[in-house]
Amino acid sequence: MVDLWVVAVAIVTLFFIVRRGPSIHLLTALVLALLTGAWVGANLRRYPEREDFVGGAVPPELDPITRAMFSRGWPLAPVMICLFHGMRFRPSGLEGITLVIDWLVLVVSLAFARFVCELYPRWQIRRKRGADHSLDGESTQKD
């Protein structure tokens, strides 16, 4: 169920980034979809080294989403900031923040990718217009 939640959050975020502002080119939409897919894959991937460390000892005090994502997540997982003392995990209440940070990484990377991908076609159009104007100027000077 949490896997569906992660996918839904990624799709809603992708939709928000794509719909914000003017329309985008097809190549930009493809790059954003691939980035979103990579983020979903990285967040849903099981990391054996983390699962070995946890050993099934997920704290029951955590909310269901954080508990399901305890040893998963990219770039951060809740297990990375959960206190470990006395041979057991002791949640501090900040474990859910890692999931928010993961989501912010998605938002920033999609916004940056959209900016970069949309910058290139606009640069090409300006360069082409500049070349056309310079050709028009040369032909009128020769006549």
Query: In the chain, what are the domain boundaries?
Result: 2-133
Token pair, residue 51, equals 């699962």
Q: Is the pLDDT of residue 70 over 60?
A: yes
Distance of alpha carbon 119 from alpha carbon 129, whole angstroms = 15
What is the model's pTM?
0.76
Question: Positive or negative CA dihedral for 88, 94, 95, 101?
Answer: negative
pLDDT of residue 137: 55
Q: What percent of the chain has pLDDT over 70?
A: 91
Half-sphere exposure of 125 (CA within 13 A, CB side): 5
1-41 pLDDT, tens digit each: 888 999 999 999 999 888 887 888 888 999 999 999 999 99
Backbone angles phi, psi at 38, to 5 degrees: -65, -40
Amino acid 37 reads: G
d(CA 89, CA 79): 9
Phi, psi torsion values for 89, nearest 5 degrees = -80, 140
pLDDT 10s digits, 92-140: 888 889 999 999 999 999 999 999 998 877 777 788 887 766 655 555 5
CB neighbours of residue 78 within 10 Å? 28
Helices 97-142 + 26-44 axis angle, to 10? 160
Flag whether pLDDT at 143 surpasses 50.
no
SS3 for 39? Answer: helix
Predicted local confidence at residue 87, as pLDDT:
78
